[in-house]
């Protein structure tokens, strides 16, 4: 089981699809379009930032805790289902979920009480995961590391109105802060082996050579971990080359 991590617009869903096709694995995608809370959250961020600018230092986003518990519940259900069998790829996992609640608390969008309740709930879920699933943790976590400029270009390309900095200037600070929290997360993550892919260097969506390089990097790591044999890796790589002729 491979899980993907990375900031908004880093290419997690795209790489999940690529890996699923390459390895013959089942892909698990976190739904976005049917999330009733996400647009409210972005609007709440804007309102809270405005109130703080006007002098209300304790103004919070009323939807921050709601959004994170919504995501936490969905991600727990997704990874629990994926862990019932082998050979799966997830475009998001429960392991990076706390980044967002921690940052929203530090920014004043959520209260310390809300963060404490959220953390206890997350810890309880992680304790139960080995009992509820086939695996204790992912075999490999793949993080796509991107810069602010790359992230913004990809956010603009996919065109979700509530994610655009042109529509909400407060998102500039939010996204830049989030990059910093991901930098801390990748240094602290320890639930499974972690592989970091340079998303600025490799355009695995639009460039075939870059895509092949990223796939080689990931599959080489799977061989090192004992999840692929050398023979399986060479067969997969040969099949990929044949399909490109």
Catalytic sites, residue numbers: 91
Say which residue the tokens 């499974």 belong to.
192
Residue 166 CB burial class (10 angstroms; 0-12, 13-18, ≥19): exposed
Residue 143 CA to residue 146 CA, distance in Å, equals 10
> Are the beta carbons of 154 and 10 closer than 8 angstroms?
yes
Residue 70 CA to residue 228 CA, distance in Å, equals 35
**What would the DSSP string read from start to end of 35-101?**
-SSHHHHHHHHHHHHHHHHTT-TT---TTHHHHHHHHHHHHHHHHHHHTTSSSEEESS-GGGHHHHH
């Amino acid at each position: 089981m491979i899980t993907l991590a990375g900031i908004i617009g880093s290419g997690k869903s795209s790489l999940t699809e690529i890996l699923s096709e390459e390895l013959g694995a089942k892909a698990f995608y976190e739904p976005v379009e049917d999330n009733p809370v996400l647009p409210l959250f972005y609007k709440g961020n804007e309102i809270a930032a405005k109130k703080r600018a006007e002098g209300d230092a304790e103004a919070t986003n009323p939807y921050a805790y709601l959004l994170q518990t919504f995501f936490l519940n969905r991600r727990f259900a997704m990874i629990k289902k994926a862990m019932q069998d082998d050979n799966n790829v997830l475009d998001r996992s429960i392991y990076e979920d706390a980044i967002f609640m921690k940052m929203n608390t530090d920014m004043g969008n959520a209260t310390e009480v809300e963060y404490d309740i959220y953390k206890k709930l997350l810890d309880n879920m992680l304790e139960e995961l080995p009992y509820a699933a086939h695996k204790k943790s992912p075999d490999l976590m793949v993080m796509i590391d991107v810069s602010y400029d790359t992230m913004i270009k990809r956010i603009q390309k996919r065109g979700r109105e509530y994610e655009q900095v042109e529509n909400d200037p407060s998102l500039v600070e939010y996204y830049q802060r989030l990059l910093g929290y991901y930098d801390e997360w990748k240094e602290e993550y320890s639930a499974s082996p972690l592989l970091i892919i340079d998303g600025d260097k490799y355009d695995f969506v639009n460039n075939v050579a870059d895509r092949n390089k990223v796939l080689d990097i990931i599959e080489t790591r799977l061989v090192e971990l004992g999840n692929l044999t050398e023979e399986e890796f060479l067969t997969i790589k040969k099949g990929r080359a044949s399909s490109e002729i």
